[in-house]
Structure 1
Amino acid sequence: MKTLSLIAFTSMVLLSISSSAQITSKADNNKLNFIFQKGEIGPAENFTGKAWNIGLVENDSVYNTVVGNVYFEPEAISNWHIHPSGQILIITDGIGYHQIKGQPRQTLKKGDIVMCPPNVEHWHGASPQTGMLQMYILPKTENGMVTWLQKVTVEEYSNHK
């Protein structure tokens, strides 16, 4: 119930923001509407390319939920990883990919919502030509947050079957 309240609150915040900064990187010819600041660059051991993270809701013992925003520059992707209680992704702009181990890669675009199941290997990131902005929600953090695994191969990133 608390997680649903947090999701509703986050949705209201997103809807109430009427003006967004537009940022364009050299590799990204499409302007993306940034709702939040870019944040800090993610560690190279967990990402291929540049992914920028900013925390929006810090973990605490009341909500046990983390909310943040990631900007993946074009071709930037996460390593394979798992979340003990799953992860919710809300794509706020751009084009990207998501893949659950053993399933076909999915293309993501603004407005898509992805439910990453608990303890299931997956990765996500931007397309080759366009960056991607995503909000993430990690529920039930008392079970743990993330276990980072191996890098995504070029074949995995390129394979849409």
Structure 2
Amino acid sequence: MKTLLTVMLCLFSLSTTAQNNKYNISSFQEKGSRAPNTHYIGDAWLRGIVEANEENGFNVTKAKFKANSTLDWHKHSTPQVLIYLDGAGYYQERGKAPIILKAGDVIKCGADTEHWHSSTKYSDVTYLAIYSTATPTVWTEVLSQEYYDNVATILAQ
């Protein structure tokens, strides 16, 4: 009985110690803030999940675009990884044909590769963007509604 009591007291003290540890927990489920409408067409929300600091040199941002919304052409000085969580979106690198990416897809865009990505014409899209903040994004060219509509038409066929 004495041994059982000792074991119970040890387990209780370990469980209370474990409960007192502080963790910095956030949720990527939250919608985020509406993005300023400067380098895209449509409606977009951004939620910073991880911010670059001395311990890690990358950001993780959740982006949610309503259907018929797109970013302008841009590039990053380091690679960018896009992880599609929900919906479907268009993706294109300069000199290549556009493609459709959907929930579960992961694509890596190389450093200094000019590209754009968006929702599709009829589907919202949510993705995680992993990238370095070594230098700011370079916005290279406006992606017109006419160009976007033409991509949507070609890929829908």
TM-score tier (shorter): 0.7 to 0.9
Matching of residue 154 in structure 1 with residue 140 in structure 2: no
Unaligned stretches of 5+ residues in structure 2:
1-24
Q: Distance in 1 between matches of 2:68 and 2:75?
A: 21
- Alpha-carbon contact 1:72-1:131 (below 8 Å) kept: yes
CA distances 1:64-103 after superposition (whole Å, capped 9, x unpaired): 1000100000011111111100210000010110000111
- Alpha-carbon contact 2:41-2:145 (below 8 Å) kept: no
Identity percentage over the alignment?
A: 29
Unaligned stretches of 5+ residues in structure 1:
1-12, 18-34
Matching of residue 112 in structure 1 with residue 112 in structure 2: no
Decide which structure has greater helix share: 2
SS in 1 for 2:118: strand
Q: Distance in 1 between matches of 2:34 and 2:59?
A: 18
Deviation at 1:126, TM superposition (A): 0.4
Q: Which amino acid aligns with 1:137?
A: I
Q: TM-score, normalised by structure 2?
A: 0.74
- When Rg is computed on C-alpha atoms for both structures, the one with the higher figure is 2
Matching of residue 41 in structure 1 with residue 34 in structure 2: yes
Partner of 1:70: 63
What is the count of residue pairs matched by the alignment? 127
Residue correspondence of structure 1 range 10-159 to structure 2 within 5 A: 36-139=29-132, 141-142=133-134, 144-157=135-148, 158-159=150-151
Moved over 3 A (4+): none
Comparing 151-160 with 60-69, greater Cα deviation is found at 151-160
Q: Distance in 2 between matches of 1:132 and 1:47?
A: 14
